[in-house]
Structure 1
Amino acid sequence: MGLLGETAGRLPDRAMLDEYRSAGTKAAQQGVPLRTIVDAALREAEQIGSAAVLPALRRAVSALIEGYEDAQRLALRSEEEARREFVDDLLQGRAERLAERAEHFGLRLAESYVVAVARPVTGIPDAMAGTIERELIARFGSHNILIAVQSGLLVCVVPGTLTAATGEFTHHVRSRFEPGWRIGIGRAHRGPGGVVTSYREASNAIDLGDRLGLRAPVLKAADLLVFPVLLRDREAIEDLVTSVLSPLLDARGGPEPLIDTLEQVFAAQGNQTAAARRLGISTRAVTYRLERVRRLTGFSPEDPTQRFTLETAILGARLLDWPTSRDQ
């Protein structure tokens, strides 16, 4: 390598140290192991066989390592930037060279993928995504997994065949996030477009959970398919909500107590005692409120057909933020 031939017996000057740094950078770019460089410098010092060369050796090796590490840091930043760009393009559906770039990050986009997204109460530490990704790969023995931070969400992309992976992802979120987190899980879809679809389903599941006041921390898009169907015909759902629930606006104390009671009765499969327990009121109060609903609206929660109409109207009201949206 000839690192010390010109400096044996004297310390290297600034120009020589810059050359050593440059040599270290070039070695890193060429994939030469750092141990190989240091061993070469030590062998050269042994051949010279003089104690006077040790200070020069120390500085030369230090400069080599500095250049090598600088190149590694630059390569790492470049890789991280490429990864961020790829994730952004993948989840936004920008398809330029997407399959080719996906292979670099271990994804085979011809397969089916499921996307899960986790929303924290506070921010997501930079190192968390990498840590969770490494632990998932260690668990499932597959590099066909991607974890990234996107728009304040922790995104997990896994093959549709790894059904346990989203459960493991949930475990890591539960153990690392502060209470109040929520996860949405999309359905399995094939190809780059399928990843985008699953990502949107997962994000929408969280949004629906918020709008409907759902308590479950983990929401699956497959369990919420009825709500996008309702929202596709907004005019129809608005008409249903207005026609069925508007009479509740005249109730003493406003419509919210009656709407809350209907929600809890429906959630409890008609069990008024369980609904009363959730509401923190007596069973007699629940019965009274349901009778008030029947008299005001003409719909009885105990009649199967009328119950379905009432329940759909209640869901629509939550989706539309009714009656708040009525006043805006």
Structure 2
Amino acid sequence: MAKQSTRPAPADTPEFVRALREISLAGRALSIQERHALHDAGATAAEDGLPLRNLITGHLEEMWRSWASLPGVTGARTTDDLKRVGENVIRAAEDAVGELTKGYEETQRWTVRREESLRREFIDDLLTGHDVGHLAERAERYGLRLAGTNVVAAACSSKPFLDSDAASANVQSAMSLRFSSRQVLVATREGLLVCVVPHDLAGAPEEFARRVGEVVGRGAQWRVGLGQPQSGPGGTVRSFEQARNALELADRLDLADRLVKAADLLVYQVLLRDSAALGELVTAVLEPLRQARGGAERLVDTLTAYFASGRVTTATAQSLGIGVRTVTYRLDRVRELTGYRADDPAQGFTLQVAVLGARLLGWPNSAP
């Protein structure tokens, strides 16, 4: 065997190789300081975007390149001596890989948490209108063009949507694959799953609704509200409020549609702008129905179905699952109690508006 070298390590020898040289001689493990240095090297690589595989491969290549020149190897006198050196060096290499990986993964997790925190902060500001002056600049990070026109869809379900839910992640992933991730922003807000897209991205709201239906399951109750296209940083707030109001109105009206558009519900918004006057109308027209046997609710439901069917008694009976004679009897009872005929154009219009108001205000279960 070759004689042990006593020359000092060159000044430019990497710290890892320097440690291996000492370990080959002393048979020790990595020191705390050396472990910290490797941990920091892994963290730095993660910050710089260097793949972990390249980082580990680079250190192992350094070990193999320096193996023949390690003092413990050149100074080994027997096969057993060389075997002990090999065991110590390989053990140190294993520990080095562990420290590199630990530093790398810890930094990656921190980076992910930081990115998620920044994303959540941006979404909160975007949907509440905070820090409007800097929203457009921050939006570029997520591919949104707030200077353009965007539209917001909001999904609700019997189970609130959360950031950690697989359902939320699945919808976000599906939308990013179907469209560009730079065009679609999906996030949770107050138990809703919210999607922000350019208004001219054809089919995006419908695709969002379809994906929501897939992840919540057939038996679940769900609905998507769609706001109107709005421009500018503050437009996203307005569109989100419209989408949320559309969900609320659809729930009050017990609409069957899975995708409800704020633009289609404007008439109800008009009615609600003067809720006091609407309440007076409901009270004046429908309050006498409380005198009916079984209360007012069955008669209101019959009127709702009657107007929805285009004032056709046979279609009304079919939708309610009752006989035509029962429908006729109930409409006559409405006329007797209120003085309004449902089949008269003028009187029927008053009844229809009052019925819409009743549904919006929760009458007869609560006072309008």
Q: TM-score, normalised by structure 1?
A: 0.94
Q: What whole-Å deviation, never above 9, does each CA across 1:175-232 have from its counterpart, x for those lacking one? A: 1104211111111111121111111111111111111222222211111111111111
Cα contact 2:38–2:100 (8 A) shared by 1: yes
CA distance in 2 between counterparts of 1:100 and 1:73 reads: 26
Q: Of residues 101, 104, 123 in structure 2, which corresponds to 1:65?
A: 101
Alignment map for 1:296-307 (pairs within 5 Å): 296-307=337-348
The 8 Å contact of residues 246 and 262 in structure 2, kept in 1 or not, is answered as yes
Selected match of 2:144 from 107, 110, 118: 107
The match for 1:143 among 182, 195, 209 is: 182
Given candidates 6, 24, 30, the residue that maps to 1:12 is 30
CA distance in 2, matches of 1:96, 1:66: 40
* Distance (Å, rounded) in 1 between the aligned partners of 2:275 and 2:155: 28
2:209 alignment partner in structure 1: 170
1:213 match: 254
Give the whole-Å Cα distance in 1 for the aligned partners of 2:30 and 2:172.
Answer: 45
Query: Displacement, 1:116?
Result: 0.8
Q: Say which SS state the counterpart of residue 157 (structure 1) adopts.
A: strand
Q: State yes or no: 1:98 paired with 2:135.
A: yes
Residue 28 of structure 1: aligned partner: 46
Structure-1 residue corresponding to 2:6: none
Could you list the per-position Cα deviations for residues 53-93 of structure 1 after superposition, in whole angstroms to 9, with x for gaps in the alignment? 22211211221111011101000000001111111111011
What is the CA deviation profile of residues 4-52 of structure 1, one whole-angstrom value per residue up to 9, with x for unaligned ones?
A: 3223324212331122101111222233332332232122112222535
Name the structure 2 match of 1:117. Answer: 154
Structure 2 match to 1:228: 269
User: Partner letter of residue 64 of structure 1?
Assistant: L
Q: Which residue of 2 aligns with 1:291?
A: 332
Partner of 1:155: 194
Give the Cα–Cα distance (whole angstroms) in 2 for the partners of residues 131 and 257 of structure 1: 42
The separation in 2 between residues aligned to 1:287 and 1:273, in whole angstroms, is 10
Matching residue's letter, 2:180? G
Structure 1 segment 66-81 matched on structure 2, within 5 A: 66-81=102-117
The residue that corresponds to 2:365 in the other structure is 324
Matched-pair contact (CA < 8 Å) for 2:151–2:199: yes
Q: Which amino acid aligns with 1:47?
A: R
Map of 2:5 onto structure 1: none
Write the letter of the residue equivalent to 1:23. Answer: A
Whole-angstrom CA distance in 1 between matches of 2:365 and 2:242: 26
Which stretch shifts more, 205-214 or 120-129?
120-129
Deviation at 1:142, TM superposition (A): 5.1
Identity %: 46
CA contact (8 A) 1:2 1:44 kept: no
Aligned partners of 2:165 and 2:294: how far apart in 1? 48
Which structure 1 segments of 5+ residues have no match? none
Deviation at 1:132, TM superposition (A): 2.2
Equivalent AA in structure 2 for residue 168 of structure 1: E
CA RMSD of aligned residues (A): 1.7
Q: Which amino acid aligns with 1:306?
A: Q
Residues 220-278 of structure 1, C-alpha deviations (whole Å, 9 max, x = no match)? 11111111111111222112112211221222221111111000111111121221122
Based on CA coordinates, which of the two structures has the bigger radius of gyration? 2
| Amino acid corresponding to residue 163 of structure 1 in structure 2 | A
> 3-state DSSP class of the match of 1:192?
coil
The answer on whether the counterparts of 2:150 and 2:196 sit within 8 Å (CA) in structure 1 is yes
